């Protein structure tokens, strides 16, 4: 799950190692709503910044990933049986 913060930091010109390390430390210290603020170039509380991801988006992404894996496994079973 570190791919997204690393990519976000790289694309915004921030140091990905420093940003991801600080984000990991903040999460370890109990700041569960900490995230990368690309406008300020630092780690901020995303809840205070009003950056909230709807549950529907996350649920849809997980369902799509699950369906994709299931289809790939079916294709693999079909190819293995030939």
Query: Which secondary-structure segment (H or E) carries 35?
Result: strand 34-37
pLDDT in tens, 14-36: 999 999 999 999 999 999 999 99
Average pLDDT, the chain: 92
pLDDT in tens, 37-66: 999 999 999 999 998 888 899 999 999 999
Sequence-distant (≥ 6) Cβ neighbours of residue 24 within 8 angstroms: 2
Sequence-distant (≥ 6) Cβ neighbours of residue 45 within 8 angstroms: 31, 33, 34, 35
Average pLDDT over residues 1-7: 87
Query: Which secondary-structure segment (H or E) carries 74?
Result: helix 55-81
Given a cut of 90, whether residue 80 has pLDDT beyond it is: no
pTM above 0.85, yes or no: no
């Amino acid at each position: 799950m570190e791919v997204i913060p690393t990519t976000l930091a790289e694309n915004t010109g921030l140091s990905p190692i420093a940003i991801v390390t600080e984000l990991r430390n903040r999460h370890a210290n109990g700041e569960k709503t900490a995230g990368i603020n690309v406008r300020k170039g630092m780690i901020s509380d995303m809840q205070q910044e009003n950056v909230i991801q709807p549950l529907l988006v996350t649920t849809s992404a997980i369902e799509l990933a699950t369906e994709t894996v299931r289809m790939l496994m079916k294709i693999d079973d079909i190819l293995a049986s030939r």
